[in-house]
Amino acid sequence: MTLSSNDTGATAVGTTAAGTTDGPATNDAATDVLLDVRGLTTEFHTAEGVVRAVNDVSFSVRPGQILGIVGESGSGKSVTARSILRMVRPPGRTTAGEVRYRGTDLLTLGDKEMRDLRGREIAMVFQDPQSALNPVMTVGDQIAEALIVHGADKKKARERARELLGQVGIPDVDRRLDDYPHQFSGGMRQRVVIAVALASKPSLLLADEPTTALDVTIQAQILRLLAELRDQLGIAVVMITHDMGVVAEMCDEVVVMYGGRVMERGPVDVIFGNPQLPYTADLLAAMPRLDDVAQGRSLPAIPGSPPDPANLPPGCPFQPRCRMAEDVCSQQVPELLPRVESGHLAACHVTQRGTPIPPLVTAAAADRVHGGEARPLLQITNLRVDVSNESRGLFRRPEPVYAVDDVSLTVRSGETLGLVGESGCGKSTLARTIVGINQPASGTIQVGDHVVGDKSGGDAVRRTVQYVFQDPYASLNPRRTIRQSLEEALAVRGVPPRERDAEARALLERVGLAERHLDRYPHAFSGGQRQRVGIARALAADPKLLVLDEPVSALDVSIQAQIINLLESLRDELDLGYLFIAHDLSVVRHLSDRVVVMYLGSFVEVGDAEAVYSNPQHPYTAALLASSPIPDTAEKNRERIVLGGDLPSPKNPPSGCRFRTRCPIGPLHHPERTICIEQAPALEQTETGQLAACHFAGELSRAGALP
Amino acid sequence: MTRFLIRRIPSVALVLVATSVIAFLLPRLVPGDPAAVVAGPDASAETIAAIRTELGLDRPLVSQYFDWIGGLFTGDLGQSLRFNRPVSELIGDRLVSTLELALLSGVLLIVFGIGLGILAGSTRSRWARVLVEGTNTGLLAAPPFLVGLLLILLFGVAFRVLPTSGEVAVLDDPGIGIQYLILPALALALPMSAGVARLVQTRMLAVRQEDFIDLAVSKGVPPRRIDVRHVLRNSLGPAVVAIGIRFGDLLAGAVVIEAIFARNGLGQLAVSGAQSADYTVVQVLIVGAVFIAVIGQLLTEVVLAALDPRVRLG
Amino acid sequence: MEDTAHQVPETGRSRRPRGGGAWSRYASALRTPKGMAAAILLVVLIGGALLAPVIFPGGYDQQARGALQGPSGAHPLGTDEFGRDILVRTVYGLRTDLSLILTAVPVSLVIGTLLGLAGYVSKPLGAVFQRVLDIILGFPGLILGIMIVLVIGTGWLALFLAIAVAGLPGFGRMARGGLLSEEQREYVLAARVLGVKRSTIMVRHILPNVVDPLLVQASVFMVIAIFIEAGLSIVGLGINPPNPSLGAMLNVGARYVQTLPSYVIGPGVMLLLLALAFTLLSDALNQAATRR
């Protein structure tokens, strides 16, 4: 197939047979730049007016390069990717700009030519592998289809599908080729999606948040796979992400988007080392870090929240939140102009004049009030939770499924216990059992002097323990105003009706909102504000202990620091105890005094945060730490432990040590270590002080430790 | 698949047993002496006693029930109180008529329902879609008996091209029989197929929004192939369920359609049985109707499992 | 097309009712074109039915001189086999139909909802009621009617019961489905964790979110109820003569369809108008309930 460009220097794109990648390199510009996006603008025509989601975006990608497009929600990064492949859904339309691929403007191609190019030259990987595969087609057919539509015959396509599945690391290919998507785990599905994308050997891969829906150890697998593909096949990758850590680890160049515009772009080292945009600088500073030693100091936070693309501020989109903003910033949109270092461009009026960005001041957190001796608020002993009762059969009782299996912990006042684990490890079940949403199968939960489950225990627990949910939108009734939600909680506490109004105001003020927010409905708030409301409601019960279930993971990066700071100051001022649950190790590190690492229903490591992070004793902890992306290019080449495989099902846990099926020092790699298969390790004191449940504790600590 | 069907056995059995108990109890729920009601106002005491014996009202309830159920399994369906003939004979005489009607309208329901739905769900041209949607909405608002009357007005009164009353068995004379059958079957099938079509259409529109459609587009699959391979297969499930549920409605609708088109089928038998308190006949017909409805739903689930590997392998 | 999801860039909100009082939302439903048309139609139909004795003081039984006469100035739809005015009987028939559905459907709605929500009080009870509803669901509407007629004979009460019972599974399953999904909502869990009383949680958090789809279902079922009445009456198991109902008129009219088509057209059109009004209403309510 030959495409003629309407430009001078027409270039042939693609080749006649599927499977050959040697794009015709007729002119030098075309080989140097694979994709050149200029002035791309995409608008959505909605009832409320025109929303310019992508505004005058320009960047280019060279063959074999990994380019990161980073931004928060509403920044336009995903729409940019879709615009390149002309896959924006109505009512969206690309209204201006050029997308030159090997010199041909894709925006002017006919539908058929565009279709021929999709998949063969440019392919795409999507965020959510759960929904990106057709549930009624076998994965083999879905991979083969990508070849068949480009002219391959069925037999060859199937042969190639088999080869591709092996290439993306799916074991037992012959059997799995005819399996359906629902028979694969999330990580495996994402590998299938990548195999589909690779089928016709494209030169460019657009990856739209390819690891956001995955756990950190699976994320590490997928990132490594993408890096290998680049190294082996020379594929260029455009990586769309919100995670600065992923950018630092993977990318050669980065484009920072905000409010639909490119605000800064350049080589990764330059941008991480010397950002010229206050937004980039503050965002990097606001991220909690694995090597956080800033205990007792709050995070430097960016105020406000990302703008609604339908309602952008005038001038520079970041100006209302910018600490360096001047008059000119609200009057004039800054141009993207070259900076000192080659290839570095930034759009900022202030730094353009050479004004340096001062470091963000980190306020010292309030002194921690320890009301005398730290007394234990919550004590859990040998707790097991059976979650099998949903599927109770008609005739037989189902086998018990212990999502939480024999765990014990203590939380004291004024202290934060961080609970880390991947999805499915049972951390949320544990949290929900504490507040009475799930019922324990055995073991005790003691709150103060009361045992949960006793008749007298219920009220005592409610007065002492409150819960903050992950998704602040789902946890607020959309039909009730903030005042109604807060006053409901106050009424339960027994606050007389006359005092409730004043009390509700005080609560809102305490979490950083204002009185005028009282009579609004949840939909009128941003994500961060809603989470503040959620916290205020929990505080309304006047608790001593908060169970925080992933309270920041649904929030944008720039908002996370605000909420973490709020939680920190509340803890210190009110002498609250926290059970802080998260999958993000850096967030846990910043807030926690002690840390528990959970795997498949059990605790594998427990100890002081300092000790666990600097000297992990359990191989799983070491692997988690090593898999977490660090937003620092200096860490790019640190040693990584990438765990293979997936989390086993709690319905059928492995014998002996539950981690042995994935353990890098276990029987998989050391067949002589049969003890791991035969005997479950107990949680025991290690040399470095913390507890770990491993027969070979400490063996991997040095490799996984941070420098 | 087999395991899947076995799992359904308890609930199917429950529905069937409950139905048979309800049908069995019906005459006994009648206020006063059902035998007297059956016999009529002028009957002698002996007649009433004979009817009471025929109904089995003089024996303990539980043994009556098991006798009756045993009869159902062995083909002894009892004696009609009104016609003094075995119920099995009465049903046998009319079974073919209703079967013809149900089968043809079932086929029409599937063809029109899914056909119209696909048309409305995949046409690119605004015009075609508006036309199909308009037809759909019109049919949706009209129940079978109104469509039937409309067809009678159109073909029996205005144009007089097809017979609108009576019947000829298709097996006896296919040419003529089908002429008698076509209007009632259309009347029965069209309104229901509109509902099915609406489901297929909305589902197709919803599936189009799924991520896997994006993946298909991004690998370069042409629109027509996307419609067939990706959208359609994922859209048929709800339609199949709807057709299965309407199986029972089809039988019930047949009752009315038979009345309007003067067909002498099981529906008419049930109606006249209800009017003349012919309990033994109606009891059997009720159990039969529910049995067929349940079979229809089971079939649905089999088809659903064939369409969707998540059900099949789940 | 309200079905096509608008893809708003990266800030897509889930489909959820927005805040605001229930009444203002229902009022806004009536301000849409569909809602407006439904309201006007219903006012005209219900008003006409209520005022029938005023408009036609002679009643539905008044006989004119000729039987089975075609439409004329005095009798716009002609006269029936006893020389009674078909238009007058159609309006009185509408009255009968409305008296049925406007009582039977609300009764079915309330009982069905209670059966569906019973699981909130006691899990086993909820499961038992669910089985009962499953069994009722196994009976097609007309078969149910035939059974009821068999026990209590024909008449208004039999139709009332047939409609009320036929509606139970729909309302019950919808209420139970709503209950099960609402119970898992985080704002319900949040209220539980706070220690809000179970009855308060039901009234404040669960019911308001269950009611919307139930109301939509109620207006959908109004249409089905009309058809159940008509279906049973057409086969002769409906209202006893000489009282008119739309279905009963179709029953007799069908015999004269060749000679006097207006005998079926009159009540037929009235049925369609009634069905149309409730269909439009359910569409409007549905839009208001799922509006973003």
SS (H, E, C) chain B: CHHHHHHHHHHHHHHHHHHHHHHHHHHHHCCCCHHHHHHCCCCCHHHHHHHHHHHCCCCCHHHHHHHHHHHHHHCCCCECCCCCCEHHHHHHHHHHHHHHHHHHHHHHHHHHHHHHHHHHHHCCCHHHHHHHHHHHHHHHHCCHHHHHHHHHHHHHHHCCCCCCCCCCCCCCCHHHHHHHHHHHHHHHHHHHHHHHHHHHHHHHHHHCCCHHHHHHHHCCCCHHHHHHHHHHHHHHHHHHHHHHHHHHHHHHHHHHHHHHCCCCCHHHHHHHHHHCCCHHHHHHHHHHHHHHHHHHHHHHHHHHHHHCHHHHHC
User: Rounded to two decimals, what is the model's pTM?
Assistant: 0.83
Same domain? A523 vs A382: yes
Nearest C-alpha in C relative to B126: C1
Final residue belonging to a domain, choices A575, A605, A622: A575
Final residue belonging to a domain, choices A532, A550, A575: A575
- Considering only A515-529, C53-67, C230-244, which range has the smallest mean pLDDT? C53-67
Instruction: Compute the half-sphere exposure of residue B54: CA atoms within 13 Å on the CB side of its CA.
Output: 26
Range of the domain at A687: 1-19+591-707
| Per-window interface: B 97-126 vs A, CB < 8 A | none
Q: Which of C129, C130, C135, C149 to mutate to test binding with chain B, by most B CBs within 10 Å of its CB?
A: C135
Contacts of B156 in chain C (CB under 8 A): 257-258
Q: Per residue in A114-166, pLDDT tens?
A: 999 999 999 999 988 889 999 999 999 999 999 999 988 999 999 999 999 98
Q: Does residue B314 register a pLDDT over 80? A: no
Same domain? A614 vs A533: no
Same domain? A673 vs A697: yes
- Considering only A268-277, A680-689, C20-29, C75-84, which range has the smallest mean pLDDT? C20-29
Same domain? A546 vs A635: no
Is A471 close to C17, i.e. CB distance below 8 A?
A: no
CA distance A139 to A146: 11
Per-residue pLDDT, A17: 38
Per-residue pLDDT, A397: 60
The CATH code of the domain at C2-9+21-66+77-290 is 1.10.3720.10
Is A115 inside a domain boundary?
A: no
CA distance B37 to C6: 64
Is A449 inside a domain boundary?
A: yes
CA distance B54 to B57: 8
Same domain? A563 vs A600: no
Domain count, chain A: 3
Place A8 in a pLDDT band, splitting at 50, 70 and 90: very low
Is A239 inside a domain boundary?
A: no
Same domain? A602 vs A506: no
Three-state DSSP class for A554?
coil
Nearest C-alpha in A relative to B304: A136
Q: Does residue C247 register a pLDDT over 70? A: yes
Contacts of C9 in chain A (CB under 8 A): 44, 51, 53-54, 74, 76, 78-79, 92, 309
Instruction: Confirm or reject contact between B203 and chain A (CB < 8 A).
Output: no
Place B153 in a pLDDT band, splitting at 50, 70 and 90: confident
Q: Which of B16, B145, B213 to mutate to test binding with chain C, by most C CBs within 10 Å of its CB?
A: B145
Same domain? A566 vs A596: no
The CATH number of residue A460's host domain is 3.40.50.300
Higher pLDDT, B238 or A26: B238
Same domain? A569 vs A623: no
- Average pLDDT of span B211-224: 92
Nearest C-alpha in B relative to A147: B219
What ipTM did this prediction achieve?
0.84
Is B270 close to C140, i.e. CB distance below 8 A?
A: no
Q: Per residue in A19-71, pLDDT tens?
A: 333 444 344 444 589 999 999 999 998 877 888 999 999 999 999 999 999 99
| Per-window interface: C 191-230 vs B, CB < 8 A | 223, 227, 230
Contacts of C239 in chain B (CB under 8 A): none
Q: How far is CA A412 from CA A375, A416, A579, B89, B183, in A?
A: 5, 8, 10, 83, 80
